[in-house]
Amino acid sequence: MEVIRDWGLNIKAECGGALSCATCHVYVDKDWMDVVGAPSDEEEDMLDSVGDVRANSRLSCQILMSDALDGLKLTLAPSAAKD
């Protein structure tokens, strides 16, 4: 989420990464799903609060960047885009 925000892209991320808003919702490219890993139970609970969830949904503030994620492809979910 911070990488997306720092690049000035159109993400709400209203709680600043505190796992309390789900406005950083992204879809992980299928080729990256195993590398990114599964959401925690708390993240899944938060994802249940948005209507555009898919099997590849994640909250971007819960994805910890590392060298292994260099080149990661994501798509911003409609509910996470600023108006």
- Residues near ligand FES (CB under 6 A) are 1, 13-15, 17-24, 46, 59, 61
Q: Which is nearer to ligand FES, 14 or 52 (CB)?
A: 14
Q: Which is nearer to ligand FES, 15 or 35 (CB)?
A: 15
The residue whose Cβ lies closest to ligand FES is 61
Instruction: Return the number of other C-beta atoms located less than 10 Å from residue 76's C-beta.
Output: 18
Note whether 29 and 74 are within 8 A (CB): yes
Q: Which is nearer to ligand FES, 32 or 58 (CB)?
A: 58
**Measured between alpha carbons, how far is 69 from 49 in angstroms, rounded to an integer?**
27
